[in-house]
């Protein structure tokens, strides 16, 4: 996936903090989006609050969907929601399936498909 | 004096409370609670108490103020419903995965021998292979192994994957192959067998494997073998992806379960009909021998079992010998039931034919007197059993503004559909038929494959909507409604039932149109059919057209679409029909209870 900030491409924007030590978390989230077949791009920002990162992502995204990732949390946000009320937030230590599911849900928000269940990924 | 009329119905117990002044009733208020226990049994008494208490509290009265309680001589009919599938599909040794993951990978059709991905490097050069990828192997390893094997000259033509990894694997392959993922029971996929995989482009459906000749082409089948794969191809129709595996002993059968015969004994005639012939034939047979005395099923068959089950339940409830229970009406409805294919791999299901049956039994009359006695003893108020239920219902229905004799009513309850007609002279004729609200619930539940009857009940009662974004829904009629606050993410992009307690998301992938069609069809199959059937029986000429005015009463007349469906169907016979409005305030409820109070005035 090529990073291209100028072209108004429909993408989900993933925003994570600088100097990350949690590449594995980011990768799993990205795999979730990729499996659903929705384009995405990644950006690095200086901000420690995952909700703010996610909302910033939603603002940057032409689809209005952003994911904020810090070493503690993964947050899914949508541009039309209040800034302090994201759709989903899960701890970064969640298992692989849950991390992927939040990525899938970002894509499903775009595709208008029912979300995967983040509490029990076996169920969806 | 103060009189309470209490109607014990199959689903609800209703009270009408009135004060008689100078021989004229003045209605005070009414009460309604769920019927406790099966109608006509001792357990009803709790419901009667609760219903009466509710009405009394509204009127600021106590039990001591009541001078007389009149309960209905409950039409001694009890309805029960049963469902029996008459076909089933069995796969001996799994031979297909008719599976619809939301995101399969790749595109096209691939044929090869199934091999576990961890053993793929043992394959010979030039061999055609379908790799089977269990949960333990992640997508990065799988794609690397596949790319490596392809470079070594092994033809990998497709993949069957347990996890939801299809697109991820596909994106990392140098040579694209069709991939079916989310195959839950991957251990059941036979290894070293010839298999074919097809994945259609987004928006299309599989074409080769949903065609019996397509499967024959892939596997070089003989004409006899092609005949056998018809159920496989049929089950794959409409899927975006499919796998068919040919095992030497593999065999898919659509088995017809011998459904047996139904024997209808009329007063003068007798008829036998095969359940396999479908609902229409059964109903014709019932019409031809009317009036029906008893209906039995052929012993040792499904039909026999189904009717005997109803008989057992009834005999248990009414404390009579099963042989004394006479089934006096039956409503048969053709339906489809999604059934898990026996021997399937990914929980495939196929739509099997089924017959739903509602039966009506005449029970013991004495039970009502027993209830009256017990009530009288406990309350210290005189309790009498009023007139016949249908007569009472007509009396009640005539309080609807704009109605007059001659008038027919259709009482659409939960357990049975009753009809009565009153002519200008005041003579009343009535009939009870099997099949009502409970039958509709059963049909909805079985056709959508839900075990949850409460959910089916909700589908029956409330309209649907589709949640289109976090902020808006689209109703069944296409109107859009916006909300200030974001909706529950669990409802997002789903079909929801708009219950008074909020939106209930529907499980499964049914579209709104499909659920709506199932719901309306179930209602039509039961209530429209029964409305016409019952009017035919009570019409003085036997012809529905000779009835002019019909009011609809009973709990199911409260439904948001049943009255319209019936009104619409009856208008074709130039009948004026509509929902009753008892006493101008109660709607279609409380007809019998009101009638019980009014009948006192006439000294009955």
Which residue ranges make up each domain of chain B?
1-75+366-396+590-603, 80-86+257-362, 93-251, 402-580
> Is the distance from CB of B382 to CB of B69 less than 8 angstroms?
yes
Q: Provide the whole-model pTM.
A: 0.82
pLDDT band at B290 (very low <50, low <70, confident <90, very high): confident
CATH number 3.90.1300.10 given to B93-251: no
Chain B contacts of A85, Cβ < 8 Å?
486
Nearest to A109 by CA among A82, A88, A84: A88
- pLDDT tens by residue, B345-359: 666 677 777 888 888
Residue B485 CA to residue A26 CA, distance in Å, equals 30
Query: What per-residue confidence (pLDDT) applies to B604?
Result: 46
> Sheet containing B502-505: which strands, arranged edge to edge?
B480-482, B472-475, B464-467, B495-499, B502-505
B402-580 maps to which CATH number? 3.30.420.40
Mutation for testing the B interface, residue in A114, A115, A117 having most B CBs under 10 Å: A114
Instruction: Give the model's pLDDT for residue A124.
Output: 41
What are the backbone dihedrals phi and psi of residue B439, each rounded to the nearest 5 degrees, phi first?
Answer: -65, -40
Q: How many other C-beta atoms lie within 10 A of the C-beta of residue B82?
A: 20
pLDDT in tens, A10-42: 899 999 888 777 888 999 999 999 999 999 999
Residue positions forming the annotated binding site of B for Mg(2+): 103, 164, 181
Position B483 pLDDT exceeds 50? yes
Residues B82-109: tens digit of each pLDDT: 776 666 666 554 456 666 777 888 889 9
Angle at B519 between CA B517 and CA B521, to 5 degrees: 65
Q: Work out how many CB contacts closer than 8 A connect A with B.
A: 45
Angle between helix A23-36 and A96-111 (nearest 10)? 40
- With beta carbons under 8 A apart, name residues in chain A contacting B166: 35
| pLDDT value of residue B446 | 87
Q: Chain B within 8 Å of A84 (Cβ-Cβ)?
A: no
- Is the reported ipTM for this assembly greater than 0.85? no
Q: Cβ contacts (< 8 Å) between A24 and chain B: which residues? A: none
Is B493 close to A113, i.e. CB distance below 8 A? yes
Write out chain A residues lying below 8 Å of B180, CB-based: none
Q: Which residues of chain A lie closer than 8 angstroms to B492, CB-CB? A: 108-109, 112, 114-115
Residues at the binding site of B are: 10-12, 103, 164, 181, 457-460, 555-556, 589
Q: Select the residue of A35, A37, A115 nearest B164 (Cβ to Cβ).
A: A35
Check pLDDT > 60 for residue B495: yes
pLDDT tens digit string along B551-565? 999 888 889 999 999
Look at residue B544 and tell me whether its pLDDT is greater than 50. yes
- Domains along chain A with CATH numbers: 10-109 (3.40.50.10150)
Distance CA B558, CA B527 (A): 13
Q: How far apart are CA B563 and CA B544, in angstroms?
A: 18
- As a whole number, the mean pLDDT across chain A is 87
Q: Which of A34, A80, A115 sits opposite B171 (nearest CB)?
A: A34
Residue A56: exposure state from Cβ atoms within 10 A (0-12, 13-18, ≥19): buried
Q: Which CATH superfamily is domain B80-86+257-362 in?
A: Coenzyme B12-Dependent Enzyme linker domain (3.90.470.30)
Residues of chain A contacting B494 with CB distance shorter than 8 Å: 114
* Cα end-to-end distance, chain A, whole Å: 27
Let me know: does B76 contact B365? Beta carbons within 8 Å.
yes
B493–A112 CB contact, under 8 Å:
yes
Is residue A47 pLDDT above 60, yes or no?
yes
Mean pLDDT lowest for which of B22-36, B236-250, B507-521? Answer: B236-250
CB B566 within 8 A of CB B527: yes
Among chain B residues, CA nearest to A1: B171
Tell me the pLDDT band of B456, cut-offs 50, 70 and 90. Answer: very high
Q: Which of A6-20, B60-74, B303-317 has the highest mean pLDDT?
A: B60-74
A40 touches chain B (CB under 8 A): no
Q: Per-residue pLDDT for B77 more than 60?
A: yes
- CATH superfamily for B1-75+366-396+590-603 is ATPase, nucleotide binding domain (3.30.420.40)
Residue with the bigger pLDDT between A118 and B550: it is B550
Q: A114 — contact with chain B (CB < 8 Å)?
A: yes
Q: Which residue of A has its CA nearest to B467?
A: A112
Per CATH, B1-75+366-396+590-603 and B402-580 having the same topology is answered yes
pLDDT tens per residue, range B251-262: 555 566 667 788
């Amino acid at each position: 996936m090529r990073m291209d900030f100028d072209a108004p491409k429909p993408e989900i924007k993933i925003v994570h903090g600088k100097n990350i030590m949690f590449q594995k978390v980011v990768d799993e989230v990205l795999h979730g989006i990729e499996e659903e077949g929705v384009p995405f791009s990644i950006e690095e920002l200086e901000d420690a609050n995952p909700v703010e990162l996610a909302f910033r992502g939603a603002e940057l995204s032409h689809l209005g969907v952003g994911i904020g990732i810090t070493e503690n949390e993964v947050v899914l946000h949508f541009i039309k929601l209040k800034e302090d009320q994201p759709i989903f937030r899960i701890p970064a230590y969640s298992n692989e399936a849950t991390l992927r599911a939040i990525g899938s849900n970002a894509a499903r928000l775009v595709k208008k498909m029912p979300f995967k269940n983040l509490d029990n990924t076996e169920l969806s | 004096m103060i009189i309470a009329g209490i109607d014990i119905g199959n689903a609800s117990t209703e009270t009408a409370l009135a004060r008689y002044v100078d021989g004229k009733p003045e209605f005070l208020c009414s009460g309604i609670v769920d019927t406790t226990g099966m109608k006509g049994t001792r357990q009803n008494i709790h419901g009667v108490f609760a219903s009466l208490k509710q009405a009394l509290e509204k009127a600021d009265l106590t039990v001591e103020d009541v001078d007389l309680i009149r309960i209905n001589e409950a039409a001694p009919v009890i309805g029960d419903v049963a469902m029996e599938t008459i076909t089933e599909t069995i796969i001996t040794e799994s031979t297909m995965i008719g599976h619809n993951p939301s995101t399969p990978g790749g595109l096209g059709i691939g044929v090869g021998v199934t091999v576990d991905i961890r053993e793929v490097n043992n394959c010979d050069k030039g061999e055609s292979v379908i790799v089977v990828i269990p949960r333990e192997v992640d997508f990065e390893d799988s794609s690397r192994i596949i790319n490596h094997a392809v470079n070594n000259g092994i033809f990998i033509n497709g993949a069957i994957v347990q996890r939801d990894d299809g697109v991820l694997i596909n994106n990392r392959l140098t040579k694209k192959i069709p991939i079916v993922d989310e195959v839950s029971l991957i251990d059941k996929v036979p290894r070293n067998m010839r298999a074919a995989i097809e994945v259609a482009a987004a928006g299309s459906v599989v074409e080769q494997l949903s065609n019996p000749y397509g499967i024959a082409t892939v596997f070089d089948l003989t004409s006899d073998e092609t005949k056998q794969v018809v159920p496989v191809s049929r089950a794959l129709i409409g899927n975006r992806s499919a796998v068919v595996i040919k095992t030497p002993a593999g065999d898919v059968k659509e088995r017809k379960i011998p459904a047996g015969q139904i024997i209808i004994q009329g007063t003068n005639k007798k008829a036998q009909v095969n359940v396999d012939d479908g609902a229409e034939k059964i109903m014709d047979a019932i019409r031809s021998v009317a009036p029906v005395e008893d209906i039995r099923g052929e012993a040792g068959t499904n039909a026999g079992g189904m009717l005997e089950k109803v008989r057992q339940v009834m005999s248990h409830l009414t404390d009579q010998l099963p042989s004394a229970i006479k089934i006096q009406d039956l409503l048969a409805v053709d339906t489809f039931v999604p059934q898990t294919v026996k021997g399937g791999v990914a929980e495939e299901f196929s739509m099997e034919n089924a017959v739903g049956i509602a039966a009506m039994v005449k029970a013991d009359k004495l039970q009502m007197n027993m209830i009256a006695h017990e009530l009288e003893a406990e309350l210290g108020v005189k309790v009498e059993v009023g007139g016949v239920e249908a007569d009472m219902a007509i009396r009640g229905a005539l309080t609807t503004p704009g109605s007059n004799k001659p008038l027919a009513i259709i009482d659409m309850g939960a357990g049975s559909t009753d009809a009565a007609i009153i002519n200008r002279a005041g003579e009343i004729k009535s009939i009870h038929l099997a099949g009502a609200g409970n039958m509709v619930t059963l049909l909805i539940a079985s056709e959508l494959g839900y075990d949850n009857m409460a959910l089916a009940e909700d589908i029956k009662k409330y309209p649907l909507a589709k949640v289109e974004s976090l902020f808006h829904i689209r109703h069944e009629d296409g109107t859009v409604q916006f909300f200030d606050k974001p909706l529950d993410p669990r409802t997002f992009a789903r079909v929801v039932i708009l219950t008074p307690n909020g939106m209930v998301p529907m499980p499964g992938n049914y579209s709104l149109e499909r659920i709506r069609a199932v719901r309306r069809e179930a209602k039509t199959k039961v209530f429209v059919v029964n409305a016409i059937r019952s009017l035919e029986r009570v019409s003085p000429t036997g012809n529905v057209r000779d009835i002019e005015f019909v009011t609809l009463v009973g709990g199911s007349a409260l439904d948001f679409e049943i009255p319209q469906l019936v009104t619409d169907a009856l208008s074709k016979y130039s009948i004026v029909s509509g929902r009753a409005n008892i006493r101008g305030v109660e709607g279609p409820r409380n007809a019998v209870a009101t009638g019980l109070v009014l009948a006192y005035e006439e000294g009955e």
